[in-house]
Amino acid sequence: MRSFTGDGRAMNAALIRTAVREFSRAVLVVDPMRVKLWEHQGLTLPQLRLMHMLLARDHISVGQVAQELRITPASVTGLIDRLVLRALVEREHDPDDHRVVRVALTADGRGLIEELELAASAYLARIFRRMDEASVNRLVDSLQAFVVAANSAEMAATRLEQHE
């Protein structure tokens, strides 16, 4: 059986099922360690998503956060409230428009994300060291292609939503 990729290319459906299964297995190897780290810090996945977003682009508006996380502004407010209480993020009014509230990581928030990333990197490095270099290179190439394809699929889905 053949199915079609987003650009119209035919791809074997069994290959897609195998890829999904192997991706899931890989995630199951990594996620328990990451979840353990998050739980140890008392963080939820939505809080981490917000903090990673702010690590990439600090001082974004609450509205932008809601849009990018695809959650309601009220949910974002609660999410931010909990992180503000822990001094991991801070709110600030936009100097050009006081109606706009922006969110930024604090030094403690940035340090916590960096600590989590270091622990995850060390864990993954131990796994990669058990693989030969050619396998790691193929994995890197495949993951880069996966991210490009995922971003393309997300952009296509967003365009469809905008036309509905």
Q: How far is CA 132 from CA 98, 127, 137, in A?
A: 55, 11, 9
pTM of the model: 0.72
Looking at residue 30, what is its pLDDT?
Answer: 82
| 164 residues of the chain, pLDDT tens digit each | 445 455 546 778 888 899 999 999 988 888 887 788 888 888 988 999 999 999 999 899 999 999 988 889 889 999 999 999 999 999 998 888 888 889 999 999 999 999 988 988 999 999 999 999 999 999 999 999 999 998 888 777 666 666 66
Task: Annotate 63-82 with DSSP letters as a single string.
Answer: HHHHHHHT--HHHHHHHHHH
CATH number, span 42-108: 1.10.10.10
Looking at residue 162, what is its pLDDT?
Answer: 67
DSSP lists the bridge partners of residue 12 as: 2
Looking at residue 110, what is its pLDDT?
Answer: 95
Looking at residue 33, what is its pLDDT?
Answer: 79
Looking at residue 98, what is its pLDDT?
Answer: 85
> What are the residue ranges spanned by the domains of the chain?
1-41, 42-108
Tell me phi and psi for residue 90, to 5 degrees. -135, 150
Looking at residue 164, what is its pLDDT?
Answer: 63
